[in-house]
Amino acid sequence: MIASYKDEDTERFAMGVRVRRFIPFERVALRKIRQLQVCASLDDLRVPPGNRLEALKGDRAGQYSIRVNERYRVCFEWRQGMAWNVEIVDYHK
């Protein structure tokens, strides 16, 4: 379940609004957001393996990510069985 979003674009996108910067990969990104909305544990995100669930380090310590594609990730914090501060980010910027 998603408890909160980190930015307005990701929240609007999750509510069904088309966001210009997400258009090139919106089908995959929406599928990843839906997975977060229905998962009950982090282990639920390990399938499919293409999610590549990983704990982040450095300035993103405490966060997890699942891959949208080679460049973009859905990043979030996992607390109390919910995803917090969910955002779709260009991971390499």
Distance CA 49, CA 66 (A): 10
**CATH code of residue 52:** 3.30.2310.20
Q: CA quadruple 79, 83, 84, 85: dihedral positive or negative?
A: positive
Domain boundaries, position 31? 8-90
Does residue 67 belong to any structural domain of this protein?
yes
Exposed, middle or buried, 88 (CB in 10 Å: 0-12/13-18/19+)?
buried
Count: domains in the chain: 1
Does residue 79 belong to any structural domain of this protein?
yes
Distance CA 73, CA 91 (A): 6
Does residue 51 belong to any structural domain of this protein?
yes
Residue 92 banded pLDDT, cuts 50, 70, 90: confident
**Interval 48-67: pLDDT, tens:** 999 999 999 999 999 999 99
Identity of residue 56: L
Does residue 32 belong to any structural domain of this protein?
yes
Does residue 1 belong to any structural domain of this protein?
no
**Interval 13-31: pLDDT, tens:** 999 999 999 999 999 999 9
